[in-house]
Every structure is written in structure tokens, then in C-alpha cells.
Amino acid sequence: MAPTPRVCVTGGGGFIASWLVKLLLSRGYAVHATLRDPGDPKNACLKQLDGASENLRLFKADVLDVDTLTSAFVGCEGVFHPATPVPGGKIVDPEEEIMVPTVKGTKNVLEACSATNVRKLIVVSSVAASCFDPNWPEGKLKDESCWTDKQLCKEAQNWYSLAKTEAEEIALEYGKKSGLHVVSICPGLVVGPLLQHVTVNASSKVFLYIIKGGPDTLTNKFWPLVDVRDVTGAMLLIYEKAESSGRYICSLDQMDIKDIVALMRSIFPNYNYADKMVDVDYKVYTTSEKLKNLGWQPRKLEETLTDSIEYFEKDDADGEPCRLPYFYRVNAEE
Ligand SMILES: NC(=O)c1ccc[n+]([C@@H]2O[C@H](COP(=O)([O-])OP(=O)(O)OC[C@H]3O[C@@H](n4cnc5c(N)ncnc54)[C@H](OP(=O)(O)O)[C@@H]3O)[C@@H](O)[C@H]2O)c1
């Protein structure tokens, strides 16, 4: 009998990562999950996943401490690296809050992979790293050859995009020079039900805000969107396909927020949706053809919206008054 394949997921308690751990366990993988604080109640859901008692091991590790990563990667043939801070509010100290954990954190993951003979690494980047190129031809869909302009990010103080772009570039370059097979995935805004019921991550807050409303005004951005379960499906597909290479944009066809709210109203008409919204000139058109050619089949947006609304109806997780993440707010000074 073939030995059980063993992989590690960094930041295993996160929104995307916890769904990935669930998927990997269901497909018969032995999973190591790194957590900064294994005792944090938000991580408790991992132990309740089917197969967890036999096949899940939790490791206390921080991406800023390479030795802790190395301990978690020992025995793994593959690593998935989603652990990055995803701030919902305005970033006050870019170096400390986002640049160092994202860029240095990714470098540490690369070093720990090489030290433990990991074969393949899937790095979770973002559409934010593949869409802000002022020289991209007008009207052409943005594909994997589009890289976010880092100087532009600095000028706009768009630290998240800067950090994700730099980390992804470093990881793919490292893969070319070392024996490590590095592939990256660039999801759009990730939505869907959550597995943990304690905190709400930044992208889910956009959705929760649309359903609950609050003090902020939404910007009607046109931004790619994707279901969390389809992101993790794509990550596993990329991992298992020996021929996968480079980067993969991972999103559905785009819609603006106003149309998404209209679609939600048509499915659940009796809801109090956020109604303060202004139009902005902000449209990002991407294509996920490369991922579809690898075999990716995302679900329909209606299913994602229905499952998300049903989830938040039952469980709005932290129960806190909702604020919109900074990126989607008009009154964005706080
Ligand atoms: N959600 C989206 O819309 C979206 C879109 C595109 C790309 N992404 C990317 O997807 C990945 C996961 O995002 P998510 O939405 O699942 O966010 P999330 O739920 O906030 O998860 C982020 C994870 O990163 C971990 N982390 C942060 N700093 C760390 C550090 N110094 N050491 C170890 N772990 C650390 C967090 O661990 P703690 O629990 O210890 O804080 C958490 O598990 C990120 O790389 C993000 O950039 C997300």
C-alpha cells in the first residue's frame, strides 16, 4: 500500500486554510497545520474535522521563526502557504503589520521547505498582485502575465498589494533557482461560509456588511470574486497536477458590488441589505482560463451567495457591530 501523502498548511486556522485542511483530510492526506496559538478558540474547529483525530497534527509556529516552520515541515512532501496577515483596517505601520510577515514570512517558508526536502510549495498570493499595471493594454483581460507595479503601490500606500506582489515574485524566482517546485495562486475576493465561528476574516466582513449594514458607505467596485471552497479545490488541483507551473489567477467572472447585491436580493428578497453605496471608477477584469485549462470547475455565484447568506443568518460569528474593510469603504480615514 502506498504511504499516506503528508503535507503542511501554514496558518491552518485561517478562513481559506481551514477549508483546505478539511479538503485535504477528506482526500486522505496526513496534514500538519501550523498555528501561532493552538489554544486560540478559533482554531478549535480543526480538531473537529472528519479524520482529524487520526490524520491532523497541529504545530505551534510563526512564519517569522524559521525553526518553528522547519519542525512543522519535517516529513512533508508538500506545503501550502496561505499564512499572511490580511488587515481589514487602515495599516499604520506597514513594515511591521504587513511587509515583514508577508515577505520575510515567505522567505522563511522557502528556506524551511529546502531544509526539509519538501518537493512542492503552493503559495497563496492574490489578484492584488496581478492587476495594478498601468501599462496593461486597455480592454485586455488581465492574465498571469500581468504583475502589479510595486512603485505604484508605494505611491498609493497600497501595502497589502505591495507585500503580496513582492512575496510572490520572490517565491517564484526561488523556485526557478532551487529544486523546489513553487506554484502560486492569485484568488479574487474570497467569500463563502466559514468553518470557525469565533472571528470573521476581512473578506467575509465585506459580505457580512452587505447583509447587516452599518455606518460605512460601500464603494461599488468591480472586483473578481470566488468561493472559498473553489479556492481550496484549485490549490489541491494545482498541487496534484505535476504539470502545474508559474501562477494561476483564481476567480469567477466579474460583477460589480451593486449587481452582486441585486442578485442577493433576487434570491433572498426579505433582507435588509446595505444601501449606502457610491459608484467609483474601479474595474478589474481578470481571466482564470489557465486554471480552467488545468481542470478547475468553480461553482456558480448563486450557490456561493446562497450558502454565505444562510451561514451568516445562522451565525454571524463574532456578533460585533460590523465595519466594512478599509479597501471597500468610502469614509476610509479610520
Ligand atoms: N480572503 C480573501 O479575499 C483573499 C483574497 C486573495 C488572497 N488571499 C490570501 O489568502 C491567504 C489567507 O487569507 P484568509 O482570507 O484566509 O485570511 P485569514 O483568515 O485572516 O487568515 C490569515 C492567516 O494568516 C495567519 N498569520 C498571520 N500572520 C502570521 C504569522 N506571523 N505567522 C503565522 N501565521 C500568520 C493567521 O494566523 P493567526 O490566526 O495566528 O492570526 C491566519 O491563519 C492570505 O495569504 C491572503 O493574502 C485572501
Report how far residue 58's alpha carbon sits from residue 45's, in angstroms, rounded to the nearest whole number. Answer: 12
Burial of residue 324, with CB atoms counted within 10 A of its CB: 0-12 exposed, 13-18 middle, 19 or more buried: buried
Domain ranges, ordered by start, for the chain? 6-327
Atom of ligand 1 nearest to the CA of 85: 27
pTM over 0.85: yes
* Residues linked to residue 181 through DSSP beta bridges, in sequence order: 120
Select 6-327's CATH number: 3.40.50.11030, 3.40.50.720, 3.50.50.60, 1.10.10.10.
3.40.50.720
pLDDT for res 311: 87
Atom of ligand 1 nearest to the CA of 128: 6
The answer to whether 164 is a known catalytic residue is yes
pLDDT for res 334: 43
8, 9, 10, 16: residue to mutate for ligand 1 pocket, most atoms within 8 A of CB = 16
Atom of ligand 1 nearest to the CA of 64: 31
Give the torsion through C-alpha atoms of 5, 68, 177, 242, to 10 deg.
20
Nearest-CA neighbor of 164 among 79, 236, 94? 94
Within 13 Å of residue 254, how many CA atoms lie on the same side as its CB?
20
Residue length, the chain? Answer: 334
Nearest-CA neighbor of 56 among 40, 38, 37? 38
CB atoms within 10 A of CB 176: 9
Strands in 255-256's sheet, in edge-to-edge order, are 255-256, 218-223, 277-283
Binned average pLDDT, 10 residues per bin, the chain of 334 residues: 91 98 98 97 95 98 98 98 90 94 98 98 96 90 95 94 98 97 96 88 84 76 87 98 98 82 86 76 85 97 90 65 59 48
pLDDT for res 44: 94
| Annotated catalytic residue, options 120, 164, 205, 221 | 164
The residue to which cell 471597500 is assigned: 328
161 CA to middle of ligand 1, Å? 14
pLDDT for res 51: 97
